[in-house]
Chain A
Amino acid sequence: MLKRPAFHVDMQACTGCRTCVMACIDRNDLPEGILYRRVVEYSGGTCSRNADGTFAQDVFAYHLSIACNHCQNPICVRSCPTGAMRKDEHGIVSVDAKLCVGCRYCEWGCPYCAPQFDAKAGRMTKCDLCRDLLEQGQPPACVSACPNRALHFGEYEDLASMFGEFEVVAPLPDRAITQPNLLVTPARNARPSGSRSGCIRAAAHPGTPRNDTT
């Protein structure tokens, strides 16, 4: 049985190309303003001129690809007043369209901005791990799309034993908030979670993680 489905992001292989995002857009026909998976650049440091005109730099930058983490303690489920947001017996957190009234409490609660509001339909939408692909024995579309093979999907314990359980890195929030089913192999220049040394560059993406600001 699928018990605790999880994503692993190998940040040392992720160049921030956003193919995972495009695969998700194509598969789900996502309208403008909704992205179930996002990639943000986290960068900081300075590149400046010394007194003699030469350059000095301590710049760092890395990318973080993030979708819904189908958390063990999903704050979106806890904050839903209608019971529309549920985590099922297979670990998938999804919205019941019939029960959702579009109040957006889940969106405000989620530190990953995973639930997103579909203004046209007047309700929330989110990643469901490509339920139909899982049925066919395939990983979610974003995972198999990655040209650099930086994304992986499977049981949390299996991924943890293969890749190790690293601490999360900036700009990800403290794991204790929701216990996300997300493992990351940190980028070589990754800053620790909670660090304010960089800022998020997210182009026109909706829903960047909110524990840090630009």
Chain B
Amino acid sequence: MDRRKFLKWSAALGGMTALTGGGLLHCVGSRTAQPPLRERDVWTSCNVNCGGRCALRAHVVDGVVRAIDSEADTAGHAATACLRGRAMRHRLYAPDRLKYPMLRVGARGEGKFRRASWDEALDLLAARLREAIDTWGNESVYLNVGTGNWGAVLSNSCSSGAPTISRLMNCLGGHLRSYGTYSYAMLEAALPYTYGGAWVDGNPITDVAHSELAVFFGNNPATTRMGGLGVSHDLARALRRSGTRLIVIDPRHSDTAATFADEWIPIRPGTDAALVSALAHVLITENLVDHDFLATHTIGYDEDSMPDGVPAGQSYRSHILGLGPDRTAKTPGWAEAITGIPAERIVRLAREIGAAKPCYIAQGWSLQRQANGEQNCRAVCMLPILTGNVGIRGGNTGAREGFFTMPFAGFPTLDNPVAASIPCFMWTEAVRRGHEMTATTDGVRGVDKLPSDIRFIWNFAGNCLINQHSDANRTARILVDETKCRTIVVIDNVMTASARFADILLPGVTNLEEDDFALSDYATDIGYVIFARKAVEPLFESRSIYDICAAVAKRLGVGEAYTEGRDRAGWLAHLYEESRRLLPGLPERMDDAFDTGIFRMRDPEAPRVPYAAFRRDPVANPLDTPSGRIEIFSKRLWDLGKTWQLGPDERIPGLPEYVPAWEGVEDPLRRTYPLQLIGHHPRQRTHSTGDNVDWLRRIERQELWMNPADAALRGIAQGDMVRVFNARGAVLIPARVTPRIAPGVLSLPEGAWYAPAQDGADTGGCINVLTTQRPSPLAKGNPQHTNLVQVEKA
């Protein structure tokens, strides 16, 4: 290396260590502006369902991606990819990529296939689809949840079905709808009863800079929102700027608790609502509640503000103070026995929350993914409601942090003539006994009763067919019965656990093999779209989902209706033009946008404070609830609880009170299975995406987290193979013995691929071998953190 080049460095490095100045989000830079694109570099994106969205830059030589980097810092607003995006090269070139269409030859689930031509596979697919529609009706065709290409616009996979497949089905008379998600079904169902509307927003995470105290129930953005334009980055900056005290309440000492929190308070899973009740007891008895706010903005707090038709003694205050039907005061001593948090600490926490003006209270989605999840998530919202922290800067609703969504055109799905809709978690039941499912037994919407069982499943870019759905062994038993579901079509990149259950298995492209738009996700006050250009030609015989659907449409006589005369490129150009109407700042030519890579827009309403107008004037700006106010007591839920058919150990109460979870800490089943099992998000995967990628596996092993006390009791040492089991199945996995999890609690990172051995025990570390398909009472959602298990040395 010659001297001249080093002189060049010298100037550049001077710039790197200079303060880059200003910007609330910006700390100190050791970065320069984004280097120009090298020849053969293309902008693309990481589209997995992590809650972020990151720009990737693929360096392509001779048609091969040789390296991946990301966006460097630009004034603190860089969509810098995390390790999962940076590992994209080995996801693209994974040895287990699906290479050509395949048709099942063995028993379903056995994983035996033969190679087929695209024509043969698509002819068969079209014939089976025709048969299902003609024999059992459009209600028998289901689009399973798939989140493997969450960020894409045209090739999007989605919790309610990919728009490309949905459009195809709607051209053919429609398909069974679904609602809810595996991420936040209980929260989405329950919180609107408190605040109204369809989705309850939160203050942005940057608002903690304006708070005196922040309290997180669960919530681990350090791992679940890792991208550079995301919540982890913004939380770090906001805390540094303000020095705001952060308390994290979680059964596990998460990376958020470790890195950012001033204090970690371990709690037993599923008992958050009990903790909140005791905090409320202190707030009420020590007069720390905001009486004015409660009087003007809420109903159901005391006996004077109850809705008509409810007997006396049902108000929140009565319930907490022990004046209600259960005659039990929800004292810190009462909660101590349930939650595991010492009464003294509960009292102190309540005083801290009551004194902090304002206080930012937020919840992650883990506590609602419980058998009593609806009650946990509604309960946490009681803290900001009682203390008047709703609708102000530095406060929050108690929901998860909010974010800005930029407008952009989506692929039009046309109208679905089928009205019937099921909770997405209930699809296995709809395969097994769909014709029995009704509104009051199984949460069916749109119709009183399903007309048909599910007979045909589309499973695109998803692993919920077996891996991410609860009780994998039961799912396998349901799927292998070919008299029930007649056809399973799987379209994916690699041989996933779900792909093994396909009848017709089609190789889809990854997002690096096609042009698309990728929209920002949870990014505080910046919205953006990444113009993701095809980096390489589709590998092997893989095809785009649009081309697959268009080919099926043509075979079934709806080709014109499906394509409207456009090919995939034509649709992209069309969607770009549509989006330019929504975003006039976009470049005139789409090609220029693809060259630029990323288009950013600041939230014009930042700082966004949800419910601020309601807070200012609740009469002029009422909420979308029956009373127009925050409904601490929900008469609608009270009525549902009396009309729905529920199990003897289930309740849907009007109040956000603690309801012990079946298979929770108070269940007598603990005598057989004494340990509570939860599942956290690992950094080396996004749900199940990436479990096959060697580079990501090198980063972190799949391990069962357990406390040293539980390990010692069973003679288990760090790294030992253990067998964790319950009546539903068993997993063989190495133990990670660590004080970072509460005694009595285990955590198995979700998303590892189901790999049952001959004796039935799973060797992949898939938590869903141990989870239940029994749904939560209101949302009929997935309680995947409510599990009782035992563990022994293998």
The interface of chain A, by Cβ under 8 A from chain B, is 1-2, 5, 8, 10, 12-19, 21-23, 25-27, 32, 43-50, 52-57, 59-63, 90, 131, 134-139, 141, 143-149, 151-155, 158-159, 162-163, 187-189, 201, 203-204, 214
Contacts and interface: CB of A to CB of B under 8 A. Distances in A.
A176 B341 CA distance: 45
Contacts of B223: 15, 17
Interface string B317-352: 000000000000000000011001110000000000
A135 B5 contact: yes
B70 A8 contact: no
The 10 closest A-B pairs by CB, nearest first: A137-B12, A154-B17, A152-B30, A22-B83, A15-B222, A158-B17, A147-B228, A61-B258, A22-B86, A19-B83
B620 interface: no
A59 B7 contact: no
B35 A46 contact: no
Contacts of B82: 17, 19, 147
A147 B9 contact: no
Contacts of A61: 253, 258, 740
Given A149-B233, A162-B28, 14 more contacts: A2-B13, A15-B259, A25-B695, A47-B742, A49-B340, A55-B267, A55-B743, A56-B342, A60-B258, A61-B253, A137-B11, A147-B233, A148-B233, A158-B17
Given A54-B340, A149-B233, A62 B87 contact: no
A26 B86 contact: yes
A62 B255 CA distance: 8
A47 B31 contact: no
A159 B259 contact: no
Contact of A12 (B15, B32, B240): B240
9 contacts: A10-B27, A12-B240, A15-B258, A22-B695, A43-B258, A47-B741, A47-B742, A62-B258, A137-B12
B698 interface: yes
Contacts of B87: 22, 25-26
A17 B342 contact: no
A19 B86 contact: yes
B683 A135 contact: no
Contact of B264 (A8, A57, A214): A57
B30 A8 contact: yes
Interface stretch (B405-413, B700-708, B762-770): B700-708
B30 A15 contact: no
Interface in B593-618: none
Interface string B15-50: 111010000000111111001000000000000000
Contacts of B5: 135
B718 interface: yes
A159 B17 contact: yes
A214 B707 CA distance: 16
Contacts of A143: 30-31
A48 B266 CA distance: 10
Given A15-B223, A19-B81, A154-B16, A145 B69 contact: yes
Given A18-B83, A18-B683, A26-B68, A50 B1 contact: no
A96 to B, nearest CB: 14
B340 A53 contact: yes
A84 B5 CA distance: 24
Interface residues of B, number: 79
A160 B740 CA distance: 33
B35 A26 contact: no
B82 to A, nearest CB: 5
Contacts of B707: 47
A179 to B, nearest CB: 20
Interface in B33-82: 35, 67-70, 72-73, 76, 80-82
B787 interface: no
Q: Of A46, A144, A203, which is in contact with the most chain B CB atoms at under 10 Å from its CB?
A: A144
Contacts of A56: 342
Nearest to B228: A147
Given A49-B709, A53-B340, A203 B700 contact: yes
A44 B738 CA distance: 8
Contacts of B736: 201
A149 B684 CA distance: 19
Interface in B665-686: 683
Nearest to A33: B698
Interface string B737-753: 01111111000000000
B740 to A, nearest CB: 6
A203 B682 CA distance: 13
Given A1-B7, A26-B89, A131 B30 contact: no
B232 interface: yes
Contacts of B337: 53
A149 B740 contact: no
Interface string B246-261: 0000000101101100
